[in-house]
Amino acid sequence: MKGIFITFEGPDGSGKTTQMEMLGERLESLGRDVVYTREPGGTGIGEDIRDILLDSSNTAMVHRTEALLYAAGRAQHVDELIKPALGQGKIVLCDRFIDSTIAYQGFGRGIDLGFLNELNNIAVAGLLPDLTLILDIDPALGIERINEKRVLKSGRAKDRIEQEHINFHERVRKGFHHLAASDPKRCRIINGGKDTETVHRELFRIVNEVLLNEDT
């Protein structure tokens, strides 16, 4: 039995986490077995790596270290959680995966894309998403949404990546556009600036068309 692997991507504040939860609930209501996970993170080791990566006091981190840490967490995640869940026929919904490395470390930080593709290949050991949903948003709006969330949720400070200059986030967005254009079969781009329900309907339509063929 082979499961289905769907990844969610997009700039910070694009709403992908909310959308992933909404899609998961919809799939569960159709009787599907859904696993929710995220990167960086998803395993004990991965969550420890996440803490290092997002800690805003880690100002000394060089770009290569950053790229290697994301890849290290991914290797663990693939072997420990994603592949076994797919082997059990589950639908795995993952908040960020290989494309974030290309968009953030490649387009954002300027690390060579060939090197990052190779690093991703090593980390995933042959596993690619069946479908990647990229939520597109103007980074200024994304950051505004993050700021609103911070105020609502106890005012936690922005993490190390969120703190980057708006120009960095603009480059990341271009990276996602590049990915959508270069692999249109796997990567679908959706306007994340619309209201939550509209975005959900569009995402479900795509998932249904590409992977499910449910009568709904």
Stretch that binds ligand TMP, among 32-40, 56-64, 147-155, 177-185 (CB under 6 A): 32-40
Using the minimum distance from each CB to ligand TMP, give the nearer residue, 29 or 154.
154
Place of tokens 């494309």: 99
* Residue ranges with strand state E in the chain: 4-9, 34-38, 91-95, 131-136, 187-191
Q: Taking CB positions, which residue lies at the least distance from ligand TMP?
A: 104
At position 181, the amino acid (one-letter code) is A
**Residue 12 found at the interface with ligand TMP (CB under 6 A):** yes
Q: Which residues pair with 131 in a beta bridge?
A: 6
Tell me how far, at minimum, the Cβ of 7 lies from ligand TMP, in Å.
10
Cα–Cα distance measured from residue 29 to residue 216, given in angstroms and rounded to the nearest whole number: 11
**Residue 127 found at the interface with ligand TMP (CB under 6 A):** no
Q: Which residues pair with 7 in a beta bridge?
A: 94, 132
Tell me how far, at minimum, the Cβ of 205 lies from ligand TMP, in Å.
24
Helix (H, G, I), strand (E, B) or coil at 182: helix
- Given candidates 26, 34, 39, 200, which one binds ligand TMP under the rule CB under 6 A? 39
Radius of gyration for the chain, computed over Cα atoms and rounded to the nearest angstrom: 17
Tell me how far, at minimum, the Cβ of 73 lies from ligand TMP, in Å.
8
Using the minimum distance from each CB to ligand TMP, give the nearer residue, 30 or 122.
122
Tell me how far, at minimum, the Cβ of 115 lies from ligand TMP, in Å.
14
**Residue 70 found at the interface with ligand TMP (CB under 6 A):** yes
Residues 40-59 that bind ligand TMP (CB under 6 A): 40
- Given candidates 77, 90, 96, 200, which one binds ligand TMP under the rule CB under 6 A? 96
Cα–Cα distance measured from residue 210 to residue 5, given in angstroms and rounded to the nearest whole number: 12
Segment holding 174, helix H or strand E: helix 166-182
**Residue 104 found at the interface with ligand TMP (CB under 6 A):** yes
| Contacts of 86 by beta carbon, 8 Å cutoff, 6+ apart | 2, 3, 4, 5, 92, 127
Residues in touch with ligand TMP (CB under 6 A): 12, 38-40, 70, 95-96, 100-101, 104-105, 161-162
